[in-house]
Amino acid sequence: MTRILALAGAVAAAGLIATSAFAQVPLDPATPNFLMWSPELQARGYRTIEDIFQVNTIERGEAVRPLVMADRQIDPTFEHDGRTWTVASYMEAFNVSGVLVLKDGQILLERYGLGRQPADRWTSFSVAKSLTSTLVGAAIQDGKIAGLGAPVTDYIPELKGSGYDGVTVRQLLMMSSGVRWNEDYTDPKSDVASAGATPAEPGMNAMVSYMRKLPRENPPGTVFNYNTGETDLVGILVANATGKSLSAYASEKIWKPYGMERDAIWMVDSTGKERGGCCISMTLRDYGRVGQFMLEGGMADGKSVLPQGWVAEATSAQIDNGDAGYGYFWWMNPDGAYQATGIFGQSITTYRDDGLVIVINSAWPRATGRDLSAARSALITAVHGAAAAP
pLDDT given for residue 342 in this prediction: 94
Residues spanned by the domain of 293: 2-388
- Residue 102's beta-bridge partner residues? 107, 357
pLDDT given for residue 9 in this prediction: 47
Element of type H or E holding 97: strand 96-103
Please tell me the total count of domains within the chain. Answer: 1
Q: What are the two backbone dihedrals, phi and then psi, of residue 140, each rounded to the nearest 5 degrees?
A: -70, -45
pTM value is 0.94
Note the pLDDT tens digit of each residue in 213-250.
999 999 999 999 999 899 999 999 999 999 999 999 99
| Low pLDDT (below 50) residues in the chain | 8-9, 11-23
Active-site residue set: 126
Q: What is the distance between the alpha carbons of residues 382 and 77, in angstroms, rounded to a whole number?
A: 7
Q: 233: domain CATH number? A: 3.40.710.10
Q: Which of 72, 69, 124, 84 is nearest to 382 (CA)?
A: 84
pLDDT given for residue 2 in this prediction: 59
| CB distance 214 to 96 below 8 Å | no
Torsion-angle region of 115 (φ positive above 0: left; ψ -120 to 50: alpha; else: beta): left
Q: What is the distance between the alpha carbons of residues 28 and 239, in angstroms, rounded to a whole number?
A: 28
pLDDT given for residue 281 in this prediction: 98
CB-count exposure of residue 43 (10 Å: 0-12, 13-18, 19+): middle
| CB distance 283 to 120 below 8 Å | yes
Outline where the chain has alpha helix (H). 2-14, 39-45, 87-93, 127-141, 169-173, 191-194, 206-211, 228-242, 246-250, 256-258, 284-295, 310-314, 370-388
- Residue 85's beta-bridge partner residues? 78
pLDDT given for residue 373 in this prediction: 97
HEC-encoded secondary structure of 126-144: CHHHHHHHHHHHHHHHCCC
**How many CB atoms are located within 10 Å of the residue 129 CB?**
31
Note the pLDDT tens digit of each residue in 264-283.
999 998 788 898 999 999 99
